[in-house]
Amino acid sequence: MIHQTDTLVQLTIERLGHRGDGVAEGPVFVPYTLSGERIEAEVQGERGRLVALQEPSPDRIEPFCPHFTRCGGCAIQHLSEPAYHAWKRGLVVEALGQAGIDVPVEPLVDAHGRGRRRATLHARKGKVGFAEARSHELIELDACPILVPELNQGLEAVRALEKQLRGLGKPLDIVLTATLTGLDCDIRGAGRIDDKMRLKLAELAARYDLARLSNHGDVVIERRVPVVRFGSVEVSPPPGAFLQATADADRALTALVQEGLIGARRVADLFAGCGTFGLALAATCQVQAFDSDKAAIAALDGAAKRAQGLKPITATARDLFHRPLLADELKPFDAVVFDPPRAGAEAQSRRLAAAKLKRVVGVSCNPATFARDAVILIAGGYKLVKVTPVDQFRHSAHVELVGVFER
């Protein structure tokens, strides 16, 4: 029900939407509001701005970060934990339901752990931080409570990098990854840098004890080889490589993948990255890993060659959107794990549907594209037996999931 009073509108929030905004009749999307709340808002089209909370939800809690509502990093810090868990799990239930898939969805696994070990900070015009919500402006950060402490310590180094590179007049993105041997830092947006600047950056890396500093993948200095561990295997990821956002999610997703593939002896790891799942699986089964990122595949291959006691594991660079593994190529495997980017794995799912695998485990950061691909697998004769939502992007509207298919 909408009542117009001057320029303000009174609204009742009916539900929490999939981006974390409260949704009132219309629909009108009002950030930082909760289901059941009566509010006063300024409304423009479908967007509302909360002006006054007239009747707060009993599930409303105090956000813990002073930057919340200005910083674009978090969508939801103002919801009590049980209600937050129910909402996140509900995002998965809803996406599957909309695709007509009937499957039990497990409780949400909390995988925030010590926090995010990987973050992209923006640096421009003397400012370092994250983008403001719904804006291109930056919010200056002294610390972010979502990040692991090592990344917060790295903010000083990022500020120094920004100062050093400010003269270029270019907006920079700086990817910081906390590894077992220290911070790995990749600068994006600076373009080519000359030898004089490389020397200055190398000095700066030493001053802030960075393990490695690179400029768009081109290593400026490697003081220690950055290392992450998958299962018992140590891997040296290439600059800016994809890693699961938290170490806990790495462990939780791997455990769910292993459980889903139990009994498998020959596994294809599709969209394998640097080997998060493949290297852990190779403790008990033969693995062939595929990913389009050549540097990630080289890191996986190097780690597999150095590791002791693994079953045979190979790593191949291949674009699985344009050249998915065909049903014939899938014949040697009894199981597959696939973990595509947000766009999902439609072409590969069609080939999986045509193959006669005993088990397929899908890992996804996008319930909508997972549901689309699951429909293809189900039409091919698989049954989706279990779906587990995993929360590694706590306080955001993103949710990860693991789905187990059987024939």
Contacts to ligand SAM from residues 127-166, by CB under 6 A = none
- Beta strands, E only, 17-66: 22-24, 28-30, 38-44, 47-55
Contact pattern from residue 201 through residue 240 relative to ligand SAM, giving x for each residue in contact according to CB under 6 A and a dash for the rest = ----------------------------------------
Residue 369 as a binder of ligand SAM (CB under 6 A): the answer is no
How far, in Å, CA of 244 to CA of 391, rounded?
Answer: 11
Which of 140, 259 has the CB closer to ligand SAM? 259
Q: Which residues are annotated as a binding site for S-adenosyl-L-methionine?
A: 244, 271, 291, 339
Which of 77, 369 has the CB closer to ligand SAM? 369
Q: How far is the CB of 146 from ligand SAM (least distance, A)?
A: 19
Q: How far is the CB of 249 from ligand SAM (least distance, A)?
A: 9
Residue 293 as a binder of ligand SAM (CB under 6 A): the answer is yes
Which of 182, 278 has the CB closer to ligand SAM? 278
Q: How far is the CB of 355 from ligand SAM (least distance, A)?
A: 17
Residue 242 as a binder of ligand SAM (CB under 6 A): the answer is yes
Which of 71, 233 has the CB closer to ligand SAM? 233
The catalytically annotated residue of 74, 144, 285, 365 is 365
> Is 138 in contact with 90 (CB distance < 8 Å)?
no
Please count the residues of this chain forming the interface with ligand SAM, following the rule CB under 6 A: 19
Contacts to ligand SAM from residues 2-41, by CB under 6 A = none
Sign of the CA dihedral with 60 first, then 121, 241, and 230 last: negative
Axis-axis angle for helices 195-207, 149-165 (nearest 10) = 150
- DSSP-derived letter for residue 325 is P
Residue 186 as a binder of ligand SAM (CB under 6 A): the answer is no
Instruction: Please select the residue that binds ligand SAM; options are 87, 277, 333, 393, rule is CB under 6 A.
Output: 277
> Is 301 in contact with 275 (CB distance < 8 Å)?
no
Alpha-carbon Rg of the chain, whole angstroms?
23
In 3-state terms the chain splits into helix, strand, coil percentages (rounded to 5) of 25, 30, 45
How far, in Å, CA of 273 to CA of 124, rounded?
Answer: 30
Contacts to ligand SAM from residues 244-263, by CB under 6 A = 244
Which of 162, 250 has the CB closer to ligand SAM? 250
365 is catalytic: yes
Stretch that binds ligand SAM, among 41-49, 88-96, 157-165, 267-275 (CB under 6 A): 267-275
Instruction: Please select the residue that binds ligand SAM; options are 272, 310, 335, 376, rule is CB under 6 A.
Output: 272
Residue 301 as a binder of ligand SAM (CB under 6 A): the answer is no
How many other C-beta atoms can be found within 10 angstroms of the C-beta atom of residue 264?
A: 22
Residue 202 corresponds to which amino acid? A
Instruction: Please select the residue that binds ligand SAM; options are 146, 296, 313, 376, rule is CB under 6 A.
Output: 296
Omega before residue 145 within 30° of 0, cis: no
Q: How far is the CB of 399 from ligand SAM (least distance, A)?
A: 13
Which is nearest to 96 in space by CA: 389, 406, 391, 396? 389
Structural tokens at position 281 = 């699986």
- DSSP-derived letter for residue 167 is G
How many other C-beta atoms can be found within 10 angstroms of the C-beta atom of residue 312?
A: 11
Q: How far is the CB of 267 from ligand SAM (least distance, A)?
A: 13
Contact pattern from residue 329 through residue 368 relative to ligand SAM, giving x for each residue in contact according to CB under 6 A and a dash for the rest = ----------xxx-----------------------x---
Which of 72, 278 has the CB closer to ligand SAM? 278
How far, in Å, CA of 7 to CA of 10, rounded?
Answer: 10
Which residue number has the CB closest to ligand SAM?
273
Residue 321 as a binder of ligand SAM (CB under 6 A): the answer is yes
How far, in Å, CA of 293 to CA of 303, rounded?
Answer: 16
Instruction: Please select the residue that binds ligand SAM; options are 214, 276, 288, 366, rule is CB under 6 A.
Output: 276
> Is 161 in contact with 176 (CB distance < 8 Å)?
no
Q: C-alpha distances in angstroms, 395 versus 10, 68, 71, 273?
A: 27, 10, 12, 25
Backbone angles phi, psi at 88, to 5 degrees: -65, -45
For the chain, give the longest Cα–Cα distance: 73
Residue positions annotated with a catalytic role: 365
Binding site for ligand SAM (CB under 6 A): 242-244, 271-273, 276-277, 291-293, 296, 319-321, 339-341, 365
